[in-house]
Structure 1
Amino acid sequence: MAESPDYSVPAVDKALDVLEVLADREGGLTQTEIAEATGRSVSQIFRVLVTLEARGWIVRDRASGVYSLSMAAFDLAHRHAPLRGLLVAATPVMRDLAAEVRQSCNLAVLDGGAVRVVAQVESPADFGYRVRVGAAFPLASATGTVLVAGAEPELRAALIGEVDPDEVARIASDGSLRRDDPREPGIADMVATVRDVRGHARAALTVPYVTTSFSEADAERVRVLAVEAADAISTRLHPSRPPRSGD
């Protein structure tokens, strides 16, 4: 059996390795640290760093020699038409939701075998919980469970084994799920489905609900408002979409 041709480009591989490593390190890395993290020599990494810096993808602190990502990747992602349309539709609705419930909220989509946060609105209260834009979470999270359960049939079939069937069964008829966050005590994730024109999950709107003295709406009220906000985003995306069952 003939071997598949290798069309890989080593320089591109090195550049992507550097970007991925820096994306995971909030404080940045020196050239030596990048070489160690990517499993390459300093000389192999040097020209890649020079090129990425010249193209504006990374920045270097002159005093410390530490490299970090620039905003170029963030800008590129937001120029991607499908994501841009989603953010335009979602952002004002998310701001209104955060203001009404005085909690933060975030929007996430499926990204391969993970959940990726693409937007986040801060709580207007003095105390709240936030999730970093770009953060990745497992499919088994509450947000991932809602996205997988609501995905189009082929994608759902491919990913359904990654989520807890008992959690899928708990998803309400309105496409929402309320679940205590196993990693963050005191937080209950209120997740609602943003649907595409065919009724499948396009994104998930999550309110990480924190019970504090600033909480002006109880958890169930927040879940209902999250569902209403997700429906509003869906309508802004697709004004002619069919209503979800129960609308």
Structure 2
Amino acid sequence: MVRSTGANASPAVSGTQSVERALSLLSFFTDEQPERRIAELVELTGLGQSTVSRLVATLESLGYLVRDERSGLHRIGPKVVSLAGIALNQSPVHRAARQPAQNLAHELGLGANVAERHDDQMFYLCHFEGPLAPRAFTLTGRLAPLHSTAMGKALLCGLTDDQVRKTLGRAYPAYTPHTITALDPLLEALQEVRTRGYATEIEELAFGRACLAAPIRDRSGDVVAALSVSGSLSAMDLPNRQDSLAAKVVEQADQISTSLGFMAHARLGL
């Protein structure tokens, strides 16, 4: 709930709260609810209808929201997409990984993804569809859990057990019967990732889906991102293709790491 502004608030405070209110409106547009009516935003924010209408009109005039004339519903506007593009283009990982990920999707026909860790979730930096793994939407910009995904395990493998515990806390939601739902088995899985250099996931987040991911390291050797290929169980065919897919993904992840300044021989003291 957004707090109301007092009648005696100073202009600076009032201006700051107007910005907070406007940004809070944008946060209510989600994958589940990509379009909103003014009345919905009034209910969600607890603000008056005149205030919400004024803020929405301002956001619309600036291109942050657009209104469908037929339905009267508002949705995220092109200005947000433009800013997102600027943010992505400023990411060293995105710049280094975009082409290798696209090449993987083209060569293997699978989905190829790059993500980094944001606190206790992973954030998709880029996503490409192959003909064997089509999607009607992009994963770029979406968040996903760490404990139930191959990319999440690849991102966590660079942390110590204590760091994993502090990062994830005690909540391990189950998305399918195959999801890891406790710390100890997750730590065992992460040790396996460190040993073989890649992570796998079979129906841990969603039924009928599989994924294979490898960590990406920066100049210091820290895991800063992960690269994966994903698709349906039949398209991935891990029982028969795991070794060959792992070789491809690890090779491309290593190339991205090298682009970010990582030198494996220096880290090993050779």
Shorter-chain TM-score: what band? 0.7 to 0.9
Q: 1:187 aligns with which of 204, 209, 229?
A: 209
Q: Secondary structure at the match of 1:171?
A: helix
Instruction: Classify 1:24/1:103 alpha carbon distance in 2 versus 1 (closer, same or farther; 3 Å).
Output: closer
Q: 1 CA distance for matches of 2:157 and 2:42?
A: 40
Structure 1 position 172, deviation (Å): 3.5
Q: Which amino acid aligns with 1:137?
A: A
**Quick check: 1:146 aligned with 2:154?**
yes
Identity of aligned residues (%): 25
Q: 2 CA distance for matches of 1:71 and 1:174?
A: 43
Q: Which amino acid aligns with 1:229?
A: Q
Q: Give the equivalent residue in structure 1 for 2:199.
A: 177
TM-score, scaled to structure 1: 0.81
**Quick check: 1:232 aligned with 2:255?**
yes
Preserved contact between residue 228 and residue 249 of structure 2 (Cα < 8 Å): yes
Q: Which amino acid aligns with 2:106?
A: A
1:169-217 per-residue CA deviation (whole Å, 9 max, x = no partner) reads 2214354111213232232220111111111111111212424369798
Q: Give the equivalent residue in structure 1 for 2:264.
A: 242
Q: Which amino acid aligns with 1:31?
A: I
Q: 2 CA distance for matches of 1:198 and 1:38?
A: 44
Q: Give the equivalent residue in structure 1 for 2:4.
A: none
Q: Which amino acid aligns with 2:120?
A: G
1:151-173 per-residue CA deviation (whole Å, 9 max, x = no partner) reads 59996574164662222222143
**Quick check: 1:93 aligned with 2:116?**
no
The answer for unaligned runs of 5 or more in structure 2 is: 1-12, 171-182
- Aligned-pair RMSD on alpha carbons? 3.1
The answer for unaligned runs of 5 or more in structure 1 is: 1-6
1:215-247 per-residue CA deviation (whole Å, 9 max, x = no partner) reads 798233112211111111112232x633576xx
The structure with the largest alpha-carbon Rg is 2
Q: Secondary structure at the match of 2:215?
A: strand
Q: 2:70 aligns with which of 63, 72, 84?
A: 63
1:132-157 per-residue CA deviation (whole Å, 9 max, x = no partner) reads 21111123232223212325999657
Instruction: Classify 1:214/1:157 alpha carbon distance in 2 versus 1 (closer, same or farther; 3 Å).
Output: closer
Q: Secondary structure at the match of 1:80?
A: helix
